[in-house]
Amino acid sequence: MPHLVILYTPNIEPETDMSALCRTLADTMLEQRDEEGKQVYPTGGTRVLAYPAAHYAVADGKADYAFVYLNVRMAAGRSDAVKKRIGDALLDQAKRHFEPVFARRHIGITLQIDESPGQVYDGKHSNLHPLFNK
């Protein structure tokens, strides 16, 4: 963990590159540092996934409105200041990415950070972490 999941209305797909957004947001996550200058998120555990909604309704339905929901899930232990910096940095990148879409249509963007204070089960199996823990 951390995972950033993006849910979006598919009506924006012709107007934007969601794969590019995923890469930008993953890079932004990897750039984040805590108060001691340490990397906040482990490189091998950082994932950004985007899913178009198969079915959706936005606002009153009287126009072809769009929506993007970004949800970051991470383990507990980061300070409130670090979490705010992360949220601000990710939202800033999302706003930059969708700026051309905003110029053409009505779109809403929401970013939330959820923290797992005490997990019941957190099983993992990966050979990614050793690639970056050198």
- Least confident interval from 63-67, 90-94, 104-108, 122-126: 122-126
Q: What is the mean pLDDT of residues 92-96?
A: 97
Whether the CB-CB separation of 34 and 79 falls below 8 Å is answered with yes
Q: What domain range is 81 assigned to? A: 3-132
Number of domains within the chain: 1
- For residue range 24-66, list pLDDT tens digits in order: 999 999 999 999 999 999 999 999 999 999 999 999 999 999 9
CATH number of the domain residue 62 falls in:
3.30.429.10
pLDDT of residue 16: 97
pLDDT of residue 125: 67
Q: What pTM does this model have?
A: 0.87
pLDDT of residue 118: 64
**Whether the predicted pLDDT of 10 surpasses 90:** yes
